[in-house]
């Protein structure tokens, strides 16, 4: 590895952008692949795509000997808009899988440290908080307040920022009204279709804790099965 490659890599890391360093072990020749690079024609395209998807580093067989793929991917995080019972139940689940959780809700009675001990909590409007959080393709956004005044901005912003997952709570009827508000005023039809609503895997979840499981499971599935290395 040379200093130029290292500096570029560290810059990408600071920006929460994923990269894979491909090093030929025979002689140390190294190259950097950034997420979104065109992998067509790359002899290691499948292995590199897998490294991006899993975040796991490892030795693979290359065309001329052993190659080490160092996956440098930002840790995934979930931003929950709504300091409600569901997001409270998400706290231990997200902690167990080793991801980061951020909770945003302007209603200070909901977004209290007593209800969310040890969680990065912002008791302010999404309009104020989200731009500073620098949402990115390693961020999921779950809007769970049921209140358009709070959820709508967050949904549009998350789509614009390329979050790997955007989901919203609410019945199909609620979502139809949401479509009327958002399509044409911020989102295209295709953007709106990409929002997962009603939020969460359809496992018949009934309690807030069960819904939290369904939401986090859907976020994990979306992250681990996302397409990598193709132009978006």
Partner 1 sequence: MSRQADDGDVLAIAETWAKAGRRLAIATVVETWGSAPRPVGSHLVIDDEGNFEGSVSGGCVEGAVVSEAVEVIGDSRPRLLSFGVADETAWRVGLSCGGRIRIYVEPLTA
Residue among 25 and 203 whose Cβ is closer to partner 1: 25
DSSP characters for 35-94?
TT---TT-TTHHHHHHHHHH---EEEEETTEEEEEEEE-PPPEEEEES-SHHHHHHHHHH
d(Cα 142, Cα 195) in Å, to the nearest integer?
10
Provide, rounded to whole angstroms, the least separation between the CB of residue 5 and partner 1: 9
Specify the residue, 26 or 203, whose C-beta has the smaller distance to partner 1.
Answer: 26
CB of 68 to partner 1, least distance (A): 5
What number of CA atoms fall less than 13 Å from residue 122's CA on the CB side? 17
> In this structure, are residues 170 and 178 in contact, taking their beta carbons and an 8 Å threshold?
yes
Minimum distance, C-beta of residue 98 to partner 1, in the bound complex (Å):
7
Q: Closest CB to partner 1 among 54 and 128?
A: 54
| 114 Cβ contact list (under 8 Å, min separation 6) | none
- 184 — phi, psi (to 5°)? 95, -25
Question: How many residues in total does the chain contain?
Answer: 232
Smallest separation, CB 7 to partner 1 (Å): 6
Output 23 or 87, the one with its CB closest to partner 1: 23
Residue numbers of the site for partner 1 (CB under 8 A)? 1-3, 6-7, 9-10, 13, 23, 25, 27-28, 55-59, 68, 70-75, 98
Cα separation, 204 vs 62, whole angstroms: 46
Closer of 43 and 75 to partner 1 (Cβ): 75
Q: Which is nearer to partner 1, 27 or 114 (CB)?
A: 27
Q: Which is nearer to partner 1, 67 or 111 (CB)?
A: 67
Cα–Cα distance for residue pair 198/192, rounded to 1 Å: 12
Phi, psi of 163 (to 5 degrees): -55, 140
- Least Å distance between CB 122 and partner 1? 20
**Is the peptide bond prior to 143 cis by the omega test (within 30 degrees of 0)?**
no
- Closest contact distance (angstroms) between CB of 131 and partner 1 is 23
5 within 8 A of 37, measured Cβ to Cβ: no
């Amino acid at each position: 590895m040379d200093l130029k490659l290292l500096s570029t890599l560290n810059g990408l890391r600071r920006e929460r952008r994923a990269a894979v360093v491909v090093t030929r072990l025979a002689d140390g020749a190294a190259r950097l692949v950034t997420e979104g690079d065109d992998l067509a024609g790359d002899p290691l395209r499948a292995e590199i795509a897998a490294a991006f998807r899993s975040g796991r580093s490892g030795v693979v067989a290359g065309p001329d000997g052993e190659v080490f793929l160092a996956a440098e991917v930002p840790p995934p995080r979930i931003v929950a808009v709504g300091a409600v019972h569901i997001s409270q139940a998400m706290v231990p689940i997200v902690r167990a899988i080793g991801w980061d959780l951020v909770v945003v809700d302007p209603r200070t009675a909901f977004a209290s440290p007593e209800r969310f001990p040890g969680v990065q909590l912002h008791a302010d409007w999404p309009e104020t908080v989200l731009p500073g959080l620098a949402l990115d393709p390693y961020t999921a956004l779950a809007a769970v307040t049921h209140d358009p005044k709070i959820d709508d901005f967050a949904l549009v912003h998350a789509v614009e920022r390329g979050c790997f997952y955007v989901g919203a709570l609410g019945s199909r009827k609620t979502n139809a009204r949401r479509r009327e508000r958002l399509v044409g005023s911020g989102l295209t039809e295709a953007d709106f279709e990409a929002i997962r609503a009603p939020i969460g895997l359809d496992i018949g979840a009934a309690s807030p804790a069960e819904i939290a499981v369904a939401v986090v499971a859907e976020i994990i599935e979306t992250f681990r099965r996302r397409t990598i290395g193709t132009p978006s």
